[in-house]
Structure 1
Amino acid sequence: MKQFDTSRPEFSPYGFTCEVWTPARMPRPDRHNEVELNLLTSGSLTYLFGGQRTTIEAGSLAIFWAAIPHQIVDFDSKSPYFVLTLPLSDFLQIGLDRKVMNRILDGELLHSKPHAETDILSFQQWEFDLRNSDAALRHAASMEVQARLLRFARGVSEGVTVRSSADLSRADKLACYIAQNYQKALTIQAVADAVNLNANYASGLFRNTFGTTITSFIVQHRISHAQRLLVTTRDAILDVALASGFQSLSRFNEAFKKACGCSPREYRNVHQI
């Protein structure tokens, strides 16, 4: 069983994995380019996701695009939980209902109706199969995950939504404001003013709470938005940059390559639907 590994780099190519993790608060927001599935066997986990506190209950299968900055800020059980990561390119080929897929790529954390007994058995099998060197078992796990996701999309389309908490701390309010306004020309002063804080105090509070700077957090959200547009549209790279909040193409290209390890055009060639 794994604790959260704070040393792992962002945007690492994890591939298709299923692991058992021990709940732990994340010292900073995490982001990587896979679609992530969480299944809790008991208790709950609370994420700060897209600027909102979002609680996942035991028995519900949760799914989100992990390129969106996310951070576990609370949990009420030390029981292990399952984490399955699926490469974005594989996720896009499953054939999910387009509305559901777009909701995930737009930055929603979705969950299905509880199927605890069935899902726990399935995740246990997938965790075993994906640790195995037998290609046939890995293929079987892949097909079963695809089938589960298709059923998941049906449940979500029937109106199941995630429960969010509105009880935000001052640091959470800063993150929430950024998540809602990163496409604008934001400054640290503007973010601080939005929640009635001194800019220097807001900067220190944000760094101490989330382990990153306000500026870096803004860029993370802009990169995530650009990734979605590159995957789901044929918009010109310049238009993607401007729509994501970047003020110039050169700044966008520089930030994107630093975050993703490739140019926006190369990213689109690999991942576009």
Structure 2
Amino acid sequence: MPNKALTQSFDPDRRDFSPYGLSCVSWQASVMPRPDHHNEIEINFLPHGSLTYLLGGKKVEIQEGAISLFWAAVPHQIIHFTDEQPYFVATIPLQNFLQWRLPEHFVQALLQGNVIGEPDHARREPDLFLFEQWTNDLYVQKPGIARAVTLEMQARITRLAADYHRETYSADTRDHLAGIAEAGLSKVEQMACFIAQNYTQKLTVQQIGEQVNLHPSYAMNLFQKTFGTTLINFLTQHRIAHAQRMLTTSDTSITEIGLQAGFSSMSRFNDAFQRICGCSPRDYRKTHDHINSAILSTQS
């Protein structure tokens, strides 16, 4: 079971897109006041209970007993959980993951913002053993242990990828992994999803409020009270996350990236990017050029 003494939780003050690196930790679920995003593949394993994310504009439920993974550059935010017991979160740097040369349809499904998980609990006990071992190994940091953990993670994900065939998943399984019906969303969750699905368009607070039949002022107050951030900040975070993904995964021009992300001008794009990321889009791309090169090489 996860070690409560070593359990971590989300820090709302962490810098946007700050890396976690290769990690496996015991994690305490909490309702997150804002989305997190980082350039790793994230794996969740819950020994008990379930948790619900807003992830890429969808409400996605992660259930106990089977691993689930997604590309964490897609903004993700826990909005509900059912058990106070810690669970496991592992992160794999994207460049490492891409070097594993997994099946293209599996990799592309993740990079397109899908959540991939085991369709059943057949490997629950072996997975629990693995996550406990990875957590202890990376905490102790014995010489060479990180490489051993990386190889074991590679083997586990390779097994999952080998079993991943869209045509063999039932409609119920695909629907579960894709997300929960919009009818199950509260007003504020509907606003968050509407933003996540439409942030590349020109949006106003009035439009967002009208989408859920709320007065703009009430919509703004309700959103900030629930998520601890304004509608405009939430919208900007999605646009910057989109730009970060494009800067690290494509050779599209910076001007085009800013426009595609939903910014009306380059000055607005540059100002928002500098404020949130602490550097210019150009410098950000240079810093992550090795990731860009690795991704483009998988597509050639």
1:75 to 77, 81, 92: 81
Answering whether residue 140 of structure 2 is matched by residue 132 of structure 1, we say yes
State TM-score, norm by structure 2. Answer: 0.83
What do residues 138-162 of structure 1 show as CA deviations (whole Å, max 9, x unaligned)?
1100111122222223333344531
Aligned length: 273
Paired residues of 1:55 and 1:163 also in contact (CA < 8 A): no
Answering whether residue 165 of structure 2 is matched by residue 145 of structure 1, we say no
Name structure 1 gaps, 5 residues minimum. Answer: none
Residue identity over aligned pairs, in percent, reads 45
Answering whether residue 275 of structure 2 is matched by residue 265 of structure 1, we say no
What do residues 148-202 of structure 1 show as CA deviations (whole Å, max 9, x unaligned)?
2222233333445316322010001111111111111111111112222111111
Equivalences for 1:110-125 in 2 at 5 Å? 110-113=116-119, 114=121, 115-125=123-133
1:198 to 204, 215, 220: 215
2:273 to 256, 263, 268: 256
Paired residues of 1:52 and 1:172 also in contact (CA < 8 A): no
For residues 22 and 46 of structure 2, the distance between their equivalents in structure 1, rounded to whole angstroms, comes to: 19
Change (3 A) 1:180 1:6: closer
Paired residues of 2:35 and 2:76 also in contact (CA < 8 A): yes
Counterpart of 1:69, as a letter, is P
* Other-structure match for 1:157: 165
Counterpart of 1:271, as a letter, is I
Equivalences for 1:1-273 in 2 at 5 Å? 1-113=7-119, 114=121, 115-158=123-166, 159=169, 161=174, 162=177, 164-166=179-181, 167-268=184-285, 269-272=289-292, 273=295
1:105 is displaced (CA, Å) by 2.6
Paired residues of 2:23 and 2:92 also in contact (CA < 8 A): yes
For residues 24 and 58 of structure 2, the distance between their equivalents in structure 1, rounded to whole angstroms, comes to: 26
Q: Which moved further from structure 2: 94-103 or 213-222?
A: 94-103
For residues 165 and 213 of structure 2, the distance between their equivalents in structure 1, rounded to whole angstroms, comes to: 39
Paired residues of 1:51 and 1:172 also in contact (CA < 8 A): no
Counterpart of 1:265, as a letter, is R
* Other-structure match for 2:4: none
Paired residues of 2:115 and 2:178 also in contact (CA < 8 A): no
Paired residues of 2:54 and 2:76 also in contact (CA < 8 A): yes
RMSD after superposition: 2.1
Name structure 2 gaps, 5 residues minimum. Answer: 1-6, 296-300
1:10 match: secondary structure: coil
For residues 218 and 208 of structure 2, the distance between their equivalents in structure 1, rounded to whole angstroms, comes to: 12
